[in-house]
Structure 1
Amino acid sequence: MSGRLSGALATLGLVTLVASTPGLTWAAEVRLRVMQTSDIHMNLLNYDYYQDRESQEFGLSKTITLIHQARAEAPNSLLFDNGDLLQGNPLGDLVARVKPLKAGEVHPAYKVLNLLGVDAANIGNHEFNYGLPFLRQALSGATFPYLNANVMEADGRRHAFTPSVMLEREVTDEQGKTHKLKIGVMGLTPPQIMEWDRQNLAGRVQVRDMVEVARETVPALRRQGADLVVVIAHTGIEKTELPRLSENMAAQLARVPGVDALLLGHAHTEFPGPGFAGYPGADLDKGRLFGVPAVMPGRWGDHLGIVDLRLSDKGGRWHVVDSRASLRPIFDRANRRPLVATDPMPAAVIATEHQATLDHVRSQVAHTDTPIHSYFGQTVDSLAVRLVAQAQLRYAQRAVQGTALDRLPMLSAAAPFKSGGRQGWTQYTDIPAGPIAIKHVADLYVYPNTIKVVKLTGAQVRDWLEMSAGQFRRIDPAGPAQQPLLDTGYPGFNFDMMWGADDGLRYALDLTQPARFDKEGKLANDSHRVVDLSWKGQPLDDQAAFLVVTNNYRAYGGGHFPALAADKVVVDAPDETREALARDLASQPSADEGGLSASWRIRPVPGVKLQFLSGAGAIARLTPATPVRLVKENGDGSALFELAD
Structure 2
Amino acid sequence: MKFGSIGKVSLLAMAVALAACDSDDDNSVPEGTEMEVRLMESTDIHMYLMNYNYFTGKDDNNIGLVKVASLIADARNESENTVLVDNGDLIQGSPMGDYMNRKGLQDGEIHPVYKAMNLMSYDVGNIGNHEFNYGLEFLQESIDDAGFPYISANVFRDDGDNNPDNDQPVFEPYHIVDKQFKDKSGVVRKLKVGFIGFVPPQIMQWDKSNLDGKVIAKDIVEMAERYVPEMKRKGADLIVAIPHSGLMIGERQQLEENATYHLASVAGIDAIMFGHAHQNFPGGASYDGYEGQGVDNVNGTINGVPAVMPGFWGNHLGIIDLDLSFTDGSWAVKGSSVELRQSADVNPEQAIVDAVSEEHEATSAWVSEPFAKISAEVNSYFALVQDDPSIQIVSDAQIDYGVSIVQGTELEGLPVLSAAAPFRAGRQGADDYTFVPAGDVAYRNVADLYIYPNTVKVLMLSGAEVKEWLEMSAGQFNQIDPQATTPQALINTAFPSYNFDVIDGVTYQIDVSQPAKYNTDGTIANQGASRIVNLNYAGQPVVADQQFLVVTNNYRASGGGRFPNVDSSRIVVDSPDENRQVLANYIAKQAEQNPDTGFDPSSDNNWGFLPINDSVKVLFTSSNSEQAQAFAVSLPKVLLTDVVEGGFRTYEIDFK
Question: TM > 0.5 between the two?
Answer: yes
Query: Is residue 531 from structure 1 mapped to residue 565 from structure 2 by the alignment?
Result: no
SS in 1 for 2:412: helix
Choose the corresponding residue for 1:192, options 181, 184, 202.
Answer: 202
Q: Deviations over 1:360-400 (max 9, x none)?
A: 10011211222211111111110011000000110111100
Find the counterpart in structure 2 of residue 522 from structure 1: 523
Q: Letter of the 2:511 partner, please give it.
A: D
CA–CA distance in structure 1, aligned partners of residues 133 and 47 of structure 2 = 13
Find the counterpart in structure 1 of residue 373 from structure 2: 367
Change (3 A) 1:599 1:620: same
Query: Is residue 600 from structure 1 mapped to residue 610 from structure 2 by the alignment?
Result: no
Choose the corresponding residue for 1:453, options 458, 469, 479.
Answer: 458
Change (3 A) 1:285 1:371: same
Give structure 2 stretches of 5+ with no counterpart.
1-29
Q: CA deviation at 1:625?
A: 3.5
CA–CA distance in structure 2, aligned partners of residues 118 and 159 of structure 1 = 22
CA–CA distance in structure 1, aligned partners of residues 637 and 168 of structure 2 = 57
Q: Deviations over 1:487-536 (max 9, x none)?
A: 11111110000111xxxx11000011111111221222110111111111
Change (3 A) 1:594 1:53: closer
Q: Deviations over 1:380-433 (max 9, x none)?
A: 110011000000110111100111101211100100000113x01101101122
CA–CA distance in structure 1, aligned partners of residues 144 and 43 of structure 2 = 20
Q: Letter of the 2:186 partner, please give it.
A: G
Aligned residues: 608
Choose the corresponding residue for 2:324, options 311, 333, 336.
Answer: 311
1:313-392 maps to which residues of 2 (within 5 A)?
Answer: 313-331=326-344, 339-392=345-398
Contact 1:499 1:596 in 2 (8 A): no
CA–CA distance in structure 1, aligned partners of residues 249 and 338 of structure 2 = 19
Contact 2:69 2:352 in 1 (8 A): no
CA–CA distance in structure 1, aligned partners of residues 636 and 124 of structure 2 = 50
Q: CA deviation at 1:480?
A: 3.7
Find the counterpart in structure 2 of residue 431 from structure 1: 436
Find the counterpart in structure 2 of residue 121 from structure 1: 125
Change (3 A) 1:630 1:381: same
Find the counterpart in structure 2 of residue 143 from structure 1: 147
SS in 2 for 1:573: strand
Contact 2:158 2:214 in 1 (8 A): yes
CA–CA distance in structure 2, aligned partners of residues 594 and 69 of structure 1 = 48
1:111-260 maps to which residues of 2 (within 5 A)?
Answer: 111-155=115-159, 157-260=167-270
Find the counterpart in structure 1 of residue 289 from structure 2: 278
* Bigger mean CA offset, 515-524 vs 290-299: 515-524
CA–CA distance in structure 1, aligned partners of residues 142 and 232 of structure 2 = 31
Choose the corresponding residue for 1:631, options 638, 641, 647.
Answer: 641
CA–CA distance in structure 2, aligned partners of residues 620 and 355 of structure 1 = 33
Query: Is residue 411 from structure 1 mapped to residue 417 from structure 2 by the alignment?
Result: yes
Query: Is residue 292 from structure 1 mapped to residue 305 from structure 2 by the alignment?
Result: yes
SS in 2 for 1:356: helix
SS in 2 for 1:435: strand
Find the counterpart in structure 2 of residue 38 from structure 1: 43
Change (3 A) 1:42 1:499: same
1:508-519 maps to which residues of 2 (within 5 A)?
Answer: 508-519=509-520
Two-structure CA RMSD over aligned residues (Å): 1.4
TM-score by length of 2: 0.91
Q: Deviations over 1:535-584 (max 9, x none)?
A: 11111101111000000000110000011111100011111011111111
SS in 1 for 2:118: helix
Find the counterpart in structure 1 of residue 12 from structure 2: none
Q: Deviations over 1:581-625 (max 9, x none)?
A: 111111122565277612100123212122111111221332424
Q: CA deviation at 1:346?
A: 2.2
CA–CA distance in structure 1, aligned partners of residues 387 and 465 of structure 2 = 22
Q: Deviations over 1:36-91 (max 9, x none)?
A: 00000000111100111110121111111111111111110000000000000110
Q: CA deviation at 1:26?
A: 7.2
Query: Is residue 89 from structure 1 mapped to residue 94 from structure 2 by the alignment?
Result: yes
Find the counterpart in structure 1 of residue 314 from structure 2: 301
Find the counterpart in structure 2 of residue 5 from structure 1: none
* Bigger mean CA offset, 563-572 vs 513-522: 513-522
Contact 2:155 2:215 in 1 (8 A): yes
Amino-acid identity (%): 44
Find the counterpart in structure 2 of residue 444 from structure 1: 449
Find the counterpart in structure 1 of residue 7 from structure 2: none
Q: Deviations over 1:272-318 (max 9, x none)?
A: 01411231211123210010001001110111101110001123311
Contact 1:616 1:633 in 2 (8 A): no
Choose the corresponding residue for 1:478, options 483, 487, 508.
Answer: 483
TM-score by length of 1: 0.92
CA–CA distance in structure 1, aligned partners of residues 522 and 538 of structure 2 = 28
CA–CA distance in structure 1, aligned partners of residues 392 and 601 of structure 2 = 12
Contact 2:129 2:199 in 1 (8 A): yes
CA–CA distance in structure 2, aligned partners of residues 139 and 95 of structure 1 = 13
CA–CA distance in structure 2, aligned partners of residues 624 and 565 of structure 1 = 39
Query: Is residue 109 from structure 1 mapped to residue 119 from structure 2 by the alignment?
Result: no
Change (3 A) 1:311 1:520: same
CA–CA distance in structure 1, aligned partners of residues 250 and 622 of structure 2 = 29
Change (3 A) 1:483 1:596: closer
Q: CA deviation at 1:199?
A: 0.4
CA–CA distance in structure 2, aligned partners of residues 174 and 261 of structure 1 = 21
SS in 2 for 1:277: helix
CA–CA distance in structure 2, aligned partners of residues 103 and 138 of structure 1 = 10
CA–CA distance in structure 1, aligned partners of residues 570 and 210 of structure 2 = 18
SS in 1 for 2:466: helix
Q: Letter of the 1:440 partner, please give it.
A: N
Choose the corresponding residue for 2:575, options 551, 573, 576.
Answer: 573
CA–CA distance in structure 2, aligned partners of residues 399 and 109 of structure 1 = 37
SS in 2 for 1:507: strand
Choose the corresponding residue for 2:650, options 609, 619, 640.
Answer: 640
SS in 1 for 2:67: helix
Contact 2:34 2:325 in 1 (8 A): yes
Find the counterpart in structure 1 of residue 5 from structure 2: none
Q: Deviations over 1:621-644 (max 9, x none)?
A: 324245311112414211001113
Contact 1:368 1:433 in 2 (8 A): yes
CA–CA distance in structure 1, aligned partners of residues 271 and 598 of structure 2 = 50
Q: Letter of the 2:288 partner, please give it.
A: A
CA–CA distance in structure 2, aligned partners of residues 530 and 632 of structure 1 = 32
Q: Letter of the 2:40 partner, please give it.
A: M
CA–CA distance in structure 1, aligned partners of residues 582 and 440 of structure 2 = 18
Give structure 1 stretches of 5+ with no counterpart.
1-24, 332-338
Find the counterpart in structure 1 of residue 6 from structure 2: none
